[in-house]
Structure 1
Amino acid sequence: MSSQADQIVAVLKSRGLRVTPQRYAVYANLLGRYDHPTAEDILSDLNQSAPTSSQATVYSSLQALREVNLVREVLLEEGVCRYDANVGPHHHFRCQCCGAIADIPWETLSSLNLQTLSPRWQIESYEVTVRGMCDRCQPKEPQ
Structure 2
Amino acid sequence: MSNHKIAAIEVQAIKVKMKAQGLRITPQRFAVYANLLHREDHPTVEAILTDINRELPIASKASVYSALTVLREVGLVREVLLDEGITRYDARVTPHHHFICQCCGTIVDLDWDALGVLQINHLPPGLQVEGYETILKGRCDRC
> Normalising by structure 2, what TM-score?
0.91
> How many angstroms does 1:110 deviate by?
3.1
> How many angstroms does 1:5 deviate by?
0.6
Q: Which residue does the alignment assign to 1:76?
A: 82
Give the one of 96, 99, 123 matched to 2:102: 96
Q: Which residue does the alignment assign to 2:71?
A: 65
- TM superposition outliers: structure 1 runs of 4+ over 3 Å: none
RMSD (CA atoms): 1.1
> What 5-or-longer segments of structure 2 have no aligned partner?
1-6
- Residue 74 of structure 1: SS of its match in structure 2? strand
> How many angstroms does 1:30 deviate by?
0.2
State the Cα deviation string for residues 4-57 of structure 1 (Å, max 9, x = none). Answer: 111110111110110011100100000000110001000000111122211000
Give the one of 13, 27, 40 matched to 2:19: 13
Contact 2:44 2:86 (C-alpha < 8 Å) held by counterparts:
yes
State the Cα deviation string for residues 40-84 of structure 1 (Å, max 9, x = none). Answer: 000000111122211000000000000001000000011100000
How many equivalent residue pairs?
A: 136
Contact 2:101 2:107 (C-alpha < 8 Å) held by counterparts:
yes
Amino acid at match of 1:52: I
State the Cα deviation string for residues 91-143 of structure 1 (Å, max 9, x = none). Answer: 000111111101011001133212x1315221000000000111111xxxxxx
Compare CA radii of gyration and give the structure with the larger one.
Answer: 1
- Residue 107 of structure 1: SS of its match in structure 2? helix
Contact 2:40 2:108 (C-alpha < 8 Å) held by counterparts:
yes
> How many angstroms does 1:3 deviate by?
1.0
2:116 matches 1:110: yes
Contact 2:99 2:137 (C-alpha < 8 Å) held by counterparts:
yes
> What 5-or-longer segments of structure 1 have no aligned partner?
138-143
